[in-house]
Amino acid sequence: MLVAAGLSDKALVYLQEEDKTKAIRELIRNFILLAGADWIEELVYRFLLMRGDTLGVSMQSADEALAQRKLSRALISSLTITGRDYQWLSSKTNLWFPMSDDDVDIELHLRGLSWRRDKQPRTLIYNPAPPPLESNVDLCLFSCSPKNLANEEGAKVVYSSPELYLALGELKGGIDPAGADEHWKTARTALHRIQQAFSNRERAPFTFFIGAAIEKRMAEEIWQMLQDGALGNAANLTNDDQVASISRWLCGL
Protein backbone atom coordinates (compact mmCIF):
# COMPACT_ATOMS: atom_id res chain seq x y z
CA MET A 1 0.00 0.00 0.00
CA LEU A 2 2.82 2.40 0.83
CA VAL A 3 4.62 1.63 -2.42
CA ALA A 4 1.39 2.06 -4.39
CA ALA A 5 0.97 5.42 -2.66
CA GLY A 6 4.17 6.54 -4.33
CA LEU A 7 6.60 6.24 -1.42
CA SER A 8 10.10 4.94 -2.14
CA ASP A 9 12.16 2.83 0.27
CA LYS A 10 14.38 5.85 0.88
CA ALA A 11 11.41 8.07 1.73
CA LEU A 12 9.97 5.49 4.14
CA VAL A 13 13.07 5.72 6.33
CA TYR A 14 12.29 9.35 7.17
CA LEU A 15 8.49 9.16 7.57
CA GLN A 16 6.63 8.81 10.84
CA GLU A 17 3.80 6.30 11.24
CA GLU A 18 1.21 9.06 11.01
CA ASP A 19 2.73 10.21 7.70
CA LYS A 20 2.50 6.68 6.31
CA THR A 21 -1.12 6.36 7.44
CA LYS A 22 -1.94 9.68 5.80
CA ALA A 23 -0.34 8.56 2.53
CA ILE A 24 -2.40 5.35 2.51
CA ARG A 25 -5.61 7.28 3.24
CA GLU A 26 -4.86 9.63 0.35
CA LEU A 27 -4.26 6.65 -1.92
CA ILE A 28 -7.61 5.16 -0.94
CA ARG A 29 -9.51 8.43 -1.30
CA ASN A 30 -7.98 9.57 -4.59
CA PHE A 31 -7.58 6.28 -6.43
CA ILE A 32 -8.86 3.10 -4.76
CA LEU A 33 -12.41 4.31 -4.00
CA LEU A 34 -12.73 5.90 -7.43
CA ALA A 35 -11.84 2.57 -9.06
CA GLY A 36 -14.95 0.95 -7.56
CA ALA A 37 -15.14 -2.79 -8.16
CA ASP A 38 -11.77 -2.66 -9.96
CA TRP A 39 -9.92 -1.41 -6.87
CA ILE A 40 -7.62 -4.45 -6.72
CA GLU A 41 -6.48 -3.92 -10.31
CA GLU A 42 -5.90 -0.23 -9.56
CA LEU A 43 -3.83 -1.06 -6.49
CA VAL A 44 -1.71 -3.62 -8.36
CA TYR A 45 -1.28 -1.22 -11.29
CA ARG A 46 -0.01 1.59 -9.06
CA PHE A 47 2.32 -0.81 -7.23
CA LEU A 48 3.80 -2.06 -10.53
CA LEU A 49 4.09 1.51 -11.74
CA MET A 50 6.38 2.24 -8.78
CA ARG A 51 8.27 -1.05 -8.64
CA GLY A 52 8.25 -2.23 -12.24
CA ASP A 53 12.00 -1.86 -12.76
CA THR A 54 12.82 -3.61 -9.50
CA LEU A 55 10.46 -6.48 -10.28
CA GLY A 56 11.96 -6.78 -13.75
CA VAL A 57 15.43 -7.25 -12.29
CA SER A 58 14.09 -9.77 -9.75
CA MET A 59 12.32 -11.80 -12.43
CA GLN A 60 15.40 -11.73 -14.64
CA SER A 61 17.53 -13.05 -11.78
CA ALA A 62 14.98 -15.80 -11.11
CA ASP A 63 14.97 -16.79 -14.80
CA GLU A 64 18.75 -17.02 -14.83
CA ALA A 65 18.82 -19.10 -11.64
CA LEU A 66 16.22 -21.55 -12.97
CA ALA A 67 18.05 -21.87 -16.28
CA GLN A 68 21.31 -22.57 -14.49
CA ARG A 69 19.66 -25.22 -12.32
CA LYS A 70 18.09 -26.99 -15.29
CA LEU A 71 21.39 -27.12 -17.16
CA SER A 72 23.23 -28.29 -14.03
CA ARG A 73 20.80 -31.15 -13.55
CA ALA A 74 21.18 -32.12 -17.22
CA LEU A 75 24.98 -32.12 -16.92
CA ILE A 76 24.85 -34.23 -13.75
CA SER A 77 22.50 -36.67 -15.46
CA SER A 78 24.80 -36.92 -18.48
CA LEU A 79 27.81 -37.65 -16.27
CA THR A 80 25.89 -40.15 -14.16
CA ILE A 81 24.56 -42.04 -17.18
CA THR A 82 28.07 -42.39 -18.61
CA GLY A 83 29.41 -43.58 -15.25
CA ARG A 84 31.71 -40.64 -14.61
CA ASP A 85 32.32 -39.25 -11.15
CA TYR A 86 32.11 -35.52 -10.62
CA GLN A 87 32.77 -32.85 -8.04
CA TRP A 88 30.60 -29.80 -7.48
CA LEU A 89 31.30 -26.31 -6.18
CA SER A 90 28.95 -24.97 -3.52
CA SER A 91 27.86 -21.35 -3.87
CA LYS A 92 27.30 -21.25 -0.11
CA THR A 93 30.71 -22.40 1.10
CA ASN A 94 32.81 -21.94 -2.06
CA LEU A 95 34.16 -25.44 -1.42
CA TRP A 96 34.30 -28.44 -3.75
CA PHE A 97 32.43 -31.60 -2.75
CA PRO A 98 32.69 -35.11 -4.21
CA MET A 99 29.83 -36.85 -5.99
CA SER A 100 27.28 -38.30 -3.58
CA ASP A 101 24.68 -41.03 -3.90
CA ASP A 102 22.18 -38.47 -2.64
CA ASP A 103 22.49 -35.60 -5.10
CA VAL A 104 18.92 -34.33 -4.70
CA ASP A 105 18.69 -30.55 -5.07
CA ILE A 106 22.44 -29.91 -5.19
CA GLU A 107 21.81 -27.81 -8.29
CA LEU A 108 20.16 -25.25 -5.99
CA HIS A 109 23.59 -24.35 -4.58
CA LEU A 110 25.86 -25.40 -7.43
CA ARG A 111 28.29 -22.87 -8.93
CA GLY A 112 30.59 -25.27 -10.72
CA LEU A 113 31.09 -28.87 -11.86
CA SER A 114 34.23 -30.89 -12.50
CA TRP A 115 34.81 -34.27 -14.15
CA ARG A 116 37.34 -36.14 -16.28
CA ARG A 117 37.25 -36.73 -19.98
CA ASP A 118 39.72 -39.41 -21.11
CA LYS A 119 41.64 -38.87 -17.86
CA GLN A 120 41.90 -35.14 -18.55
CA PRO A 121 40.32 -32.77 -15.99
CA ARG A 122 37.41 -30.58 -17.01
CA THR A 123 35.90 -27.85 -14.83
CA LEU A 124 32.84 -25.77 -15.61
CA ILE A 125 32.24 -22.51 -13.72
CA TYR A 126 29.15 -20.31 -13.75
CA ASN A 127 29.54 -16.55 -14.08
CA PRO A 128 33.32 -16.07 -13.86
CA ALA A 129 34.89 -12.78 -14.91
CA PRO A 130 37.94 -13.84 -16.97
CA PRO A 131 40.62 -11.17 -17.57
CA PRO A 132 40.66 -11.74 -21.35
CA LEU A 133 37.09 -10.38 -21.45
CA GLU A 134 36.97 -8.02 -18.45
CA SER A 135 33.31 -8.96 -17.91
CA ASN A 136 31.25 -11.87 -16.64
CA VAL A 137 30.50 -14.89 -18.82
CA ASP A 138 27.54 -17.14 -18.06
CA LEU A 139 29.52 -20.38 -18.49
CA CYS A 140 33.18 -21.26 -18.89
CA LEU A 141 34.60 -24.75 -19.37
CA PHE A 142 38.29 -25.07 -18.49
CA SER A 143 40.90 -27.73 -19.05
CA CYS A 144 41.93 -27.82 -15.41
CA SER A 145 41.09 -29.51 -12.11
CA PRO A 146 39.19 -28.00 -9.16
CA LYS A 147 42.49 -27.81 -7.27
CA ASN A 148 43.62 -25.14 -9.72
CA LEU A 149 40.58 -23.06 -8.73
CA ALA A 150 40.63 -23.80 -5.01
CA ASN A 151 41.85 -20.34 -4.05
CA GLU A 152 41.89 -16.82 -5.44
CA GLU A 153 45.51 -16.99 -6.56
CA GLY A 154 45.00 -20.27 -8.44
CA ALA A 155 41.80 -19.04 -10.06
CA LYS A 156 43.57 -15.90 -11.21
CA VAL A 157 46.22 -18.01 -12.97
CA VAL A 158 43.57 -20.16 -14.69
CA TYR A 159 41.43 -17.20 -15.75
CA SER A 160 44.50 -15.48 -17.19
CA SER A 161 45.53 -18.51 -19.29
CA PRO A 162 43.70 -18.46 -22.66
CA GLU A 163 44.98 -21.94 -23.53
CA LEU A 164 42.93 -23.45 -20.68
CA TYR A 165 39.57 -22.28 -22.05
CA LEU A 166 37.65 -25.01 -23.91
CA ALA A 167 34.23 -23.40 -24.28
CA LEU A 168 32.38 -20.25 -23.25
CA GLY A 169 28.63 -19.80 -23.45
CA GLU A 170 25.65 -17.55 -22.89
CA LEU A 171 22.64 -18.85 -20.96
CA LYS A 172 19.36 -16.91 -21.19
CA GLY A 173 16.45 -18.22 -19.13
CA GLY A 174 13.76 -15.64 -19.91
CA ILE A 175 10.69 -17.30 -21.47
CA ASP A 176 8.84 -14.17 -22.59
CA PRO A 177 8.79 -14.21 -26.43
CA ALA A 178 8.61 -10.42 -26.43
CA GLY A 179 12.08 -10.23 -24.92
CA ALA A 180 13.62 -13.05 -26.93
CA ASP A 181 15.22 -10.81 -29.58
CA GLU A 182 16.74 -8.55 -26.95
CA HIS A 183 18.21 -11.51 -25.05
CA TRP A 184 19.67 -12.88 -28.27
CA LYS A 185 21.19 -9.51 -29.26
CA THR A 186 22.85 -9.29 -25.85
CA ALA A 187 24.11 -12.87 -26.08
CA ARG A 188 25.29 -12.48 -29.68
CA THR A 189 27.26 -9.35 -28.76
CA ALA A 190 28.83 -11.15 -25.80
CA LEU A 191 29.75 -14.17 -27.94
CA HIS A 192 31.32 -11.92 -30.58
CA ARG A 193 33.33 -10.16 -27.86
CA ILE A 194 34.53 -13.55 -26.60
CA GLN A 195 35.63 -14.65 -30.07
CA GLN A 196 37.44 -11.37 -30.70
CA ALA A 197 39.24 -11.41 -27.35
CA PHE A 198 40.56 -14.94 -27.87
CA SER A 199 41.34 -14.33 -31.53
CA ASN A 200 43.67 -11.53 -30.43
CA ARG A 201 45.45 -14.19 -28.35
CA GLU A 202 45.48 -16.68 -31.24
CA ARG A 203 42.99 -18.96 -29.50
CA ALA A 204 39.57 -20.20 -30.59
CA PRO A 205 37.62 -21.93 -27.81
CA PHE A 206 34.12 -23.12 -28.62
CA THR A 207 31.23 -20.74 -28.06
CA PHE A 208 27.64 -21.79 -27.47
CA PHE A 209 24.20 -20.36 -26.73
CA ILE A 210 21.34 -21.76 -24.64
CA GLY A 211 18.07 -19.85 -24.54
CA ALA A 212 14.57 -20.47 -23.22
CA ALA A 213 12.81 -18.18 -25.69
CA ILE A 214 13.91 -18.69 -29.30
CA GLU A 215 11.79 -17.12 -32.01
CA LYS A 216 11.76 -18.19 -35.68
CA ARG A 217 14.05 -15.44 -36.94
CA MET A 218 16.46 -16.07 -34.07
CA ALA A 219 16.47 -19.80 -34.81
CA GLU A 220 17.34 -19.13 -38.45
CA GLU A 221 20.23 -16.87 -37.48
CA ILE A 222 21.51 -19.33 -34.88
CA TRP A 223 21.32 -22.18 -37.37
CA GLN A 224 23.29 -20.16 -39.91
CA MET A 225 25.97 -19.39 -37.30
CA LEU A 226 26.19 -23.09 -36.48
CA GLN A 227 26.64 -23.95 -40.15
CA ASP A 228 29.27 -21.23 -40.57
CA GLY A 229 31.16 -22.37 -37.48
CA ALA A 230 30.55 -19.07 -35.70
CA LEU A 231 28.85 -21.09 -32.95
CA GLY A 232 30.02 -24.42 -31.60
CA ASN A 233 26.60 -25.47 -30.35
CA ALA A 234 23.18 -24.15 -29.32
CA ALA A 235 20.06 -25.40 -27.59
CA ASN A 236 16.53 -24.41 -26.66
CA LEU A 237 16.27 -24.67 -22.89
CA THR A 238 12.60 -25.70 -23.13
CA ASN A 239 13.47 -28.67 -25.35
CA ASP A 240 14.70 -31.55 -23.17
CA ASP A 241 16.31 -33.39 -26.08
CA GLN A 242 18.35 -30.33 -27.03
CA VAL A 243 19.39 -29.69 -23.42
CA ALA A 244 20.50 -33.32 -23.10
CA SER A 245 22.38 -33.06 -26.41
CA ILE A 246 24.34 -29.94 -25.48
CA SER A 247 25.06 -31.42 -22.04
CA ARG A 248 26.60 -34.50 -23.66
CA TRP A 249 28.58 -32.21 -25.95
CA LEU A 250 29.98 -30.17 -23.06
CA CYS A 251 30.85 -33.30 -21.08
CA GLY A 252 32.62 -34.69 -24.13
CA LEU A 253 34.87 -31.73 -24.90
What is the rounded radius of gyration, in angstroms, for the C-alpha atoms of the chain?
Answer: 23
Structural domain spans, the chain: 9-54, 55-252
Contact status, residue 77 vs residue 243, Cβ threshold 8 Å = no
| Rounded CA separation 106/53 (Å) | 31
CATH 2.60.40.10 applies to domain 55-252: no
For the full predicted model, state whether its pTM sits above 0.85. no
Contact status, residue 175 vs residue 212, Cβ threshold 8 Å = yes
Residue type at position 138: D
Q: Give the fold, CATH level 3, of 9-54.
A: Recoverin; domain 1 (1.10.238)
pLDDT in tens, the chain (253 residues): 888 887 777 777 778 888 889 888 988 988 888 888 878 877 876 776 666 555 544 545 667 788 898 999 999 999 999 999 999 999 888 899 999 877 777 888 899 999 999 999 999 999 888 887 877 899 999 999 999 998 889 999 999 999 999 999 999 887 667 677 888 898 999 999 999 999 999 999 999 999 988 888 899 999 999 999 999 999 999 899 999 999 999 999 9
Q: Where are the alpha helices (DSSP H) in 82-210?
A: 152-159, 180-199
Residue 46: HSE in the Cβ half-sphere, 13 Å Cα cutoff = 20
Look at residue 51 and give its three-state secondary structure: helix
Identical fold for domains 9-54 and 55-252, yes or no, is no
